Amino acid sequence: MGLVSAPEGVRMTGQVDDRSGTAPDSPSGTASGMSHDRLVEAMNSGVLATDEAGRVTAWNPRAQQLLGYPREEVLGQGMHRFLHRDAEGRVPPERQCRLLRVLDTGVPDHGDGQRFAHRDGRLITCSWSSAPIYGSPAEDGGTVAGLVIVFQDAAERDAVERERRDRLVRERRANARLRLVAEITTVLSSTLNEEELLRRLVRLVVPALGDWAEVDLLVPDGRVERVAATHRELSAADIAALEGPLPPLPRAPRGPLAQVLRGGTAVVVGGGADVRSDEPLGAAQYELFQVMDAQSAIIAPLAARGETYGALTLGYSRPGQGYGPDDRLVVEDVARRTGLVLANARLYAEQRNTSEAMQRNLLAPLTQPGDLRLEARYVPATQVSWVGGDWYDAFALPDGATGLVIGDIVGHDLPAAAHMAQVRNMLRALAWDMAQPPSAVLARLDGVMAAVSDADLATAVFGRVERRPGGPWRLRWCNAGHPPPLLITSDGGTHFLDEHGLLLGEPDLSGPRPDGERDLPPLSTLLLYTDGLIERRGTDLTDRLTSLRRHASHLAQLPLPDLCDKLLERVEPSGEDDVAVLALRLPA
């Protein structure tokens, strides 16, 4: 009798086959039987066969491993009564036995959850497949002479399935965290504002990496400040109360936060008890853990280029949650990336502050001549390397008039700033020396620029504000290719002073630069500005000028410092260019 068997889940048909022309004990038949026997013996599934009465006729080694019975103990036993059991360990009614049903139907079957009795009394839940064995070829309508059952321990299969599911869960979790790290990198890299950067960070990591998070920064003088915090359940008011200055960093750190801030690596702590220490900083951290109801936490350094800037603390408030080796790697990666962005933000701020300080030092302090009131504002471009050529100036002239200047050298770099200082000083000197109309002063400046300055092109407005005895204040000005000054009367009226001529520094161009004259009403404001205030890429310049007029009209009666501040706020310069504003307020 040869057994034809297949792995679990594949329906099998076996048969006793006296092939025509081949005697059962012929060499060919013997070789076939030996081949089947070796296949059954080598299978990694239990295999048993029965005769038509359900008595066991075959039992492979794997069946013995699974159920404990040696072959000689099983052969000849009724399979159902000897092996088959229900959930309570009893022998079920034979008529309900699906394993023997094949003997009646001749139809292969398979299933899960059948229980077999182990030799030691245990019940082994198995998955199985069964198929009939025919006494003559099935296609000739032969009778069923027995059955073959292939079975496996379902616990083993379930363990494999659990491992597969767990592996998929780990892979999904790893992929989700990779996406989170990528998102954090993208979001943090979109700003160089340190405060905004860290607030974004704590919002991104909760709840993905914990129930709460906070960032402590080292301040240059040795202080520590908690600058951002969040909790998945606490209110914004509760969180705000947690932020602010902390005790200084001790020289000999003992608590985990102090150790991390002193250049240590990430540390996982179990809760408040693990951060408690007799140092003030450790006590402050312990108080935070109490408020957060911390059950577990990890503290990772925000470091880059050999310098530690602060620490990121993440934690869980729910019991049973913690930070394993994989979690630690993710948090350390997030902290490392944040440290790099933080380092870039500080470098940007340092460069910006240096550039802005240099620019401001090049701008002269304002005088306050007599009853006239002057205010100026300078806003650098957002691109840190753009040290602009914008300038403003105001100074007293020998004849008692007040000179006003607003100008812009072409370029956004250190040479432009240097050229701006040259042109500003030359204009000051010429205005002091030449008791002539503004157009003559600018014409002389144009010639001097070509001879002694490296500046290429410039725009400027130079004006003289003077008062005739018993008469009104009067402005005389000349515009060399610059945006028009704006006169704002106390009742909100606005008038652009449109007279203008060619810009400075272009010897191939020639033409008049007309002088303009205008009485300045009491309490009116004269506004001089550079193009950074009104120009914005993708918008129409006329629309921007109209917007400037509208906002200036609404702010006309504000004190002069407030008018300048509010105007910058409402007009919203694009930041693509620096902005200089000079405002003059006339007395009543």
Average pLDDT over residues 269-273: 75
Q: Is the pLDDT of residue 1 over 60?
A: no
Average pLDDT over residues 85-97: 91
Name the band, by pLDDT with cuts 50, 70 and 90, for residue 53: very high
Contact between 561 and 572 under an 8 Å Cβ cutoff? The reply is: no
Q: Tokens 């753009």 belong to which residue? A: 386
C-alpha distances in Å from residue 460, one per residue of 18, 469, 545: 113, 29, 18
CA 143 to centroid of chain Cα atoms: 72
Task: Please report, in angstroms and rounded to a whole number, the separation of the first and last CA atoms in the chain.
Answer: 124
CA 453-455-460 angle, to 5 degrees, is 110
pLDDT of amino acid 337 = 92
Handedness of CA 18, 20, 23, 29 (dihedral sign): negative
pLDDT of amino acid 293 = 92
Average pLDDT over residues 382-394: 73
pLDDT in tens, 146-174: 999 999 998 877 788 888 998 998 888 88
pLDDT of amino acid 24 = 42
Name the band, by pLDDT with cuts 50, 70 and 90, for residue 140: low
Domains of the chain in sequence order: 14-159 (3.30.450.20), 189-351 (3.30.450.40), 366-585 (3.60.40.10)
Average pLDDT over residues 53-60: 95
d(CA 242, CA 85): 64
Average pLDDT over residues 501-505: 88
What letter does residue 523 receive in the DSSP assignment? T
Identify whether 483 is preceded by a cis peptide bond (ω within 30 of 0). no
Contact between 335 and 313 under an 8 Å Cβ cutoff? The reply is: no
d(CA 50, CA 65): 19
pLDDT in tens, 536-554: 888 899 999 999 999 999 9
- Which tokens belong to 546? 């109209």
Q: Is the pLDDT of residue 229 over 70?
A: yes
Strands 14-15, 123-134: pairing is parallel
The residues facing 56 across adjacent strands are 50
pLDDT of amino acid 16 = 35
Average pLDDT over residues 118-128: 93
- Which tokens belong to 534? 């009104």
Residues 6+ apart with CB under 8 A from 164: none
pLDDT in tens, 399-418: 999 999 999 988 656 677 77
Name the band, by pLDDT with cuts 50, 70 and 90, for residue 83: very high
Average pLDDT over residues 64-70: 95
- Which tokens belong to 68? 């404990």
pLDDT of amino acid 75 = 96
d(CA 517, CA 463): 9
pLDDT in tens, 292-340: 999 999 999 999 989 999 999 999 999 989 999 989 999 999 999 999 9
Average pLDDT over residues 214-235: 91
Average pLDDT over residues 89-113: 91
What letter does residue 495 receive in the DSSP assignment? E
pLDDT of amino acid 219 = 87
Contact between 579 and 573 under an 8 Å Cβ cutoff? The reply is: yes
Contact between 194 and 342 under an 8 Å Cβ cutoff? The reply is: yes
d(CA 487, CA 534): 16
Instruction: Give the residue, 526 or 11, on which the prediction is more confident.
Output: 526
pLDDT of amino acid 474 = 96
Average pLDDT, the chain: 86
Contact between 425 and 448 under an 8 Å Cβ cutoff? The reply is: no
pLDDT of amino acid 383 = 63
Range of lowest pLDDT (32-41, 120-129, 256-265)? 32-41
- Which tokens belong to 405? 């200047």
C-alpha distances in Å from residue 309, one per residue of 207, 213, 219, 581: 24, 17, 8, 37
**Reduced to 3 states, what is the DSSP secondary structure of residue 25?**
coil
pLDDT of amino acid 6 = 38
Average pLDDT over residues 352-363: 62
**Reduced to 3 states, what is the DSSP secondary structure of residue 473?**
strand
Range of lowest pLDDT (228-242, 354-368, 560-574)? 354-368
Query: Up-side HSE of residue 201: CA atoms within 13 Å toward CB?
Result: 33
Average pLDDT over residues 432-447: 92
pLDDT of amino acid 44 = 86
Residues 6+ apart with CB under 8 A from 428: 393, 395, 403, 405
- Which tokens belong to 25? 């004990």
Q: Is the pLDDT of residue 10 over 50?
A: no
pLDDT of amino acid 2 = 40
Strands 473-480, 390-396: pairing is unpaired
d(CA 355, CA 345): 15
pLDDT of amino acid 379 = 86
What share of the chain in percent tops pLDDT 90? 56
pLDDT of amino acid 35 = 60
